[in-house]
Amino acid sequence: MATAIFLVSLTLTFGFATIFFGATVTEVDSLLAFKRNLNDPLGVLDGWDASTPLAPCDWRGVGCYFSRVDQLRLPRLQLTGVLSPELGKLRQLRRLSLHSNHFHGSIPRSFTELSLIRALYLHNNSLSGDVPPGILSLSNLQIVNLAGNDLSGRISGGISPSLRVLDLSYNNFSGLVPANFSESLQLTLINLSSNRFSGEIPASIGALKRLQYLWLDSNLLVGTLPSAILNCTSLVHISAEDNFISGNIPATIGAMPELEVLSLTSNKLSGVVPASVFCNVSNPRSLRFVFLGFNALTGIAKPPNGCTFRSGLEVLDLHGNRIVGEFPDWVADIPTLRVLDLSGNLFTGSLFANFGNLMNLREFRVANNSLKGQVPKEIGQCSMKKQILGLIDFDVGSIQSLEVLNLSENELTGVVPNEVLQLTNLTTLNLSFNNFSGHVPVEVGDLKSLAVLNLSHCGFSGSIPSSIGSLMRLRVLDLSKQRLSGNFPAELFGLPNLEAVALQENDLHGDIIEGFSSLVGLRYLNLSSNSLSGDIPATFGFLGP
């Protein structure tokens, strides 16, 4: 009896070994077929040899579970070639990670037979063609990243109910955004940006209660932002920049409980910026970054009485719209603002004294509006450190490290404040297209770090100060379209880094100075519409085309 039991046990064991060994041979053959299609400049697959003791489980990049291949991980190894259809025979494969190589050709249809696969990472290669329809519907699939290839065609077929992450960005997909995303209620991230998807954003996205990140940037999307998106109560980040989305922004979008980033720049949105962006009694901290620039917005909804302004809003970017009306003084009640960009609109009136409340402000941009009057001193209380674009005041103690100052295209009057001329870390000073009076300040020569000085179209008169000749780092000098007179100061000809000089449309007189020929780096020189005399020296031939 004992002998019989032993024989039965031996037979079963031997039988299992036979089946097991046969499956392993198939996996070895499949992997070697994959290797034969590759150029491996780093030699990382040199150890793939069927004679190794535990082949293929002891090969680099191969992972096994109970001696069956369940992972193939070969990212960032400079591998070149095509994906072998033989990989579809790795029926126990759970994870395929071949990203950041140089694979080309199509995704094999045999990949639809990988019924157990959970994660597919093929991003940052040169794959082309379409995605086999059955892949996205594989029942165990949780993560798909095909970004950064040259894949094309439409996304068709079903969606795996297990899918959590879908990244198809930076390809050439076309057609409609799939409306059947609702088949996968586990989705937390969808990235379809930088493709050629067209049509409207499907309202079915509203069924994705777990969706946290939605990127639809740089496509051909039209229609409106569907109100159903407000049902995605887990959304943290919505981005649909650079499309053709029109209509109004949903009025309660700022009330979404988890939303931190709203990015809809470069569309055709109209109407007003909803008040929920700025204040929300039920959720005052969530929304942090708002990017609505380059649309056709015409107004900002005034926050209602009793509004509790958001204590978390850091960036408010509304540049390049058609927003009209008085400058919104209530923005000073949002103390967490770091960046405020209202440039390129139709704001009128003047700034307000309580700007000093914005103690965290780092960037302020209001160029290209119709603002008038004096700049309030209180703005100097803001702790702006690097860049200010638009109207500001100059409390030097708080902005000594300022590097870029752009107040262009407003209606500033009077003289340039002395405080500006003490910002010795400035590399760029742009005061162009304003209505200053008086002379170009001699003190500008104290700004030794300046690389760009643009004072064009400002109404300055008098002569060009010779102190500019001490700006040894200066690359661009634009004093055009003023009422400047007199001769060229010889000191300008000693600036070794000058690349562009624009002095047109002034009243400069005298002979054309040959000293410009000493500026060997000069690539642009415009002296037109002055009262200069004489011939252009032949030595000016160094100017590039």
Highest average pLDDT, of 56-60, 156-160, 441-445, comes from 56-60
Percent of the chain with pLDDT over 90: 51
Higher pLDDT, 216 or 15: 216
Q: Of 493, 491, 545, 481, give the one whose Cα is nearest residue 518.
A: 493
Segments making up each domain of the chain, as ranges = 412-545
Tell me what pLDDT residue 383 has.
Answer: 46
- Residue written as token pair 């696969």: 117
Is pLDDT of 87 > 50?
Answer: yes
Q: Of 313, 299, 407, give the one whose Cα is nearest residue 360.
A: 313
Is pLDDT of 17 > 50?
Answer: no
Q: Is 262 left (phi over 0), alpha (psi -120 to 50) or beta?
A: beta
**What is the DSSP pairing of strand 428-430 with strand 413-414?**
unpaired
Tell me what pLDDT residue 83 has.
Answer: 97
Tell me what pLDDT residue 382 has.
Answer: 52
Q: What is the DSSP letter of 2?
A: H
Of the listed ranges 54-63, 226-235, 477-486, the one predicted with least confidence: 477-486
Higher pLDDT, 8 or 224: 224
Tell me if 518 sits within 8 A of 496, measured CB to CB.
Answer: no
Topology of domain 412-545, CATH? 3.80.10
The pair of structure tokens assigned to 133 is 């329809």
Q: How far apart are CA 86 and CA 47, in angstroms?
A: 19
Percent of the chain with pLDDT over 70: 84
Single pTM value for the model = 0.74
Q: What is the mean pLDDT of residues 368-393?
A: 54
Is pLDDT of 459 > 90?
Answer: no
